[in-house]
Amino acid sequence: MLLSLMGIEDDGEDILTKDYHTNGKRLKFYDDKFVFTDSTGSEIFPVENRKKLDKALKNWIRKNKISKEKFVLDNLYQQDDAIIAEYVQLYKKMPVFNNKITFKIKNKALIEVEGSTRIFYDLKANKEENVVPAEIVLLTNKDKINGTIELIDLGYILAQEDELYDTPVWRVRLSTGESVLFNAFTGEWINLS
């Protein structure tokens, strides 16, 4: 898994509590996250072409054995002088919104990768139920949506840390970049704060 980034063999210990440094690279685990930083500039990506960048970053995920699951590009934007690419893990062909990997690329070089350690574990979904149509969710929760809707998609989220299963949700992405989540079984708004 991630230790291949550092050229370190997995010793079978719990790596999710360690901090690794070697030759300008660092891998740190904390608060259910991992952060990989690379000051060597050795990983170059084609940032001028979205399709090529997407393919190259997905290859990077596979090459470094981050997860056996697939990932999909969820958001791509520029922040100051860096390109930020956010990927979410797929489960049963649907995105798991809090199983995210974020790449930060500066001057075409990968400088940071941050992600949820949940991507290393097997996923479980709630029992099968009928999903409330997005139209019904929007009509019954119009007071929770403040802005112009850009995208509505169905995926999964672990709403609370003590839950055993990921819950299907409708994600409503607004033009402001904000996302509003609704339980896909009940249509209820999910407050993550």
pLDDT value at position 22? 83
Other CB atoms within 10 Å distance of the CB of residue 42 = 11
pTM of the model: 0.75
Does position 92 have pLDDT exceeding 90, yes or no? no
Average pLDDT over residues 51-66: 91
Q: How confident is the model at residue 186 (pLDDT cuts 50, 70, 90)?
A: confident
pLDDT band at residue 105, thresholds of 50, 70 and 90?
A: very high
* Mean pLDDT calculated for residue range 142-170: 82
Mean pLDDT score, 101-119: 92
Q: What is the mean pLDDT of residues 117-143?
A: 78
Average pLDDT of the residues of the chain: 83
- Residue 27: band (very low, low, confident or very high) from pLDDT cuts 50, 70, 90: confident
pLDDT of residue 133: 85
Question: Residue 164 above 70 pLDDT?
Answer: no
Domains (range + CATH), the chain: 2-120 (3.30.310), 134-190 (no CATH)
Give 66's pLDDT tier (boundaries 50, 70, 90). Answer: confident
pLDDT of residue 84: 97
Confidence of residue 17 (pLDDT cuts 50, 70, 90): low
| 23-27 long-range Cβ contacts below 8 angstroms, 24+ apart | 27/2, 27/3
pLDDT at position 104 over 80: yes
pLDDT at 76: 94
The pLDDT assigned to 143 comes to: 85
What percent of the chain stands above pLDDT 70?
84
Q: How far apart, in whole angstroms, are the C-alpha atoms of residue 66 and residue 46?
A: 21
pLDDT at 2: 53
